[in-house]
Structure 1
Amino acid sequence: MNAPARRLSFTYAEYLEQERASPTKHEFLGGEIFDMAGGTPEHARLAARVTVALGAQLGRRPCEVFSSDLRVRVRATGLATYPDVSVVCGPIARDPEDKDAVVNPLVLVEVLSDSSEAYDRGEKFAHYRRIPSLREYVLVSQAHRRIEVFRRNEDGTWTLYEAGPGERARLASIDALLDVDEVYRGALEASAAV
């Protein structure tokens, strides 16, 4: 998260009012509104490739893949945020305070950046773990050809599965695979050529 807006405390309704009028996205937590950093072409490319790959595999199943335009609300902590990719299976459950936010993602994906990696791995993941429906949290590196899948176990603990070059990351909850070479095809080379 970046610096909070000037005012010290906002209600969720005030946040929603400001969010509707804003051309940029913001996170909300504990009465504070946080600017979300804009993405790079590399970030957008990786998020789009994950979205396309998952969308193609889910096909006619009762699951939908959403871009970062979808707001997700963590009811237990109050966090409202925009994951890079979200997957919801079955009917969408909306937040009672926010008809535009879902509260039941099965899979959340974040593309890591230098400015967000510590937050995405730490505090944000701690919030996401409080979503009862969430089964897998996927981190896509921008620095290395690596996809990490954190999977919730039956006892509520989480296990990390990693996939690198030549491998595929398995998302068991939606029976899908992310081919690392396909997700990263030309992605890191394009950023290095600049």
Structure 2
Amino acid sequence: MQRFPERPDMRVHVPANGLYTYPDVSVVCSEGQHLEETYLDTLRNPLVLPEVVSARTGKYDRADQFLIYKRIASLQHYVVVESHRPLVGVYTRDTNSSWLFQEYKGADAVPLPALRLELPLTGIHRKITFSA
């Protein structure tokens, strides 16, 4: 896994429609591919894109943002982390390039086969207290 300098302005290019987005996190397991005309601030090959959603941004992140991201050929998982409840939704590209959706809550672990790991929900929502 390649680590990039922590940059709040790392963006992702979506070649299919020419858009640029700023995901909360970008994960690349091979060498990062960047647009040549940029200064390593535009990633072209993310493998996993997690987004932390709020009540205000949730509808956009779950629907519209996913429609943009799923056009990135390298993307294998789009992870939607709820900020106001212990819930994570994962869109996973299958072998037919279709997308499968699964929700994880409670004590579940979130499998990310493209990274060959599982993330425990307790780790994702660590130090967060949810209201009843």
Check the 8 A contact 1:65/1:85 in 2, yes or no: no
Matches of 1:123 and 1:79, distance apart in 2: 13
Q: Which amino acid is the alignment partner of residue 109 of structure 1?
A: P
Per-residue CA deviations over 1:84-127 (Å, capped at 9, x if unaligned) read 11101111111244342011000000001122111111111111
Per-residue CA deviations over 1:131-169 (Å, capped at 9, x if unaligned) read 000000000001210111110011111011221111100
Tell me the equivalent position of 1:111.
52
Residue 85 of structure 1: which of 11, 16, 25 is its match? 25
In structure 2, relative to structure 1, the CA distance for the partners of 1:87 and 1:150 (3 Å cut) is: same
Moved over 6 A (4+): none
- Displacement, 1:68? 6.7
Which runs of 5 or more structure 2 residues have no equivalent in the other structure?
none
Stretch deviating more after TM superposition (93-102 or 170-179): 93-102
Matches of 1:139 and 1:108, distance apart in 2: 9
Q: TM-score of the superposition, structure 2-length normalised?
A: 0.87
Aligned residues: 128
Residue 123 in structure 1 maps to residue 64 in structure 2: yes
Q: How does 1:28-177 map to 2 (within 5 A)?
A: 63-64=1-2, 69=8, 70-99=10-39, 100-177=41-118
- Displacement, 1:65? 5.5
| Percent identity of equivalent pairs | 35
Q: TM-score of the superposition, structure 1-length normalised?
A: 0.61
In structure 2, relative to structure 1, the CA distance for the partners of 1:98 and 1:123 (3 Å cut) is: farther
Check the 8 A contact 1:109/1:138 in 2, yes or no: yes
- Displacement, 1:77? 1.2
- RMSD value, Cα: 1.8
Which runs of 5 or more structure 1 residues have no equivalent in the other structure?
1-62
Secondary structure at the counterpart of residue 97 of structure 2? coil
Secondary structure at the counterpart of residue 181 of structure 1? helix
Q: Which has the higher helix share?
A: 1
Matches of 1:120 and 1:162, distance apart in 2: 15
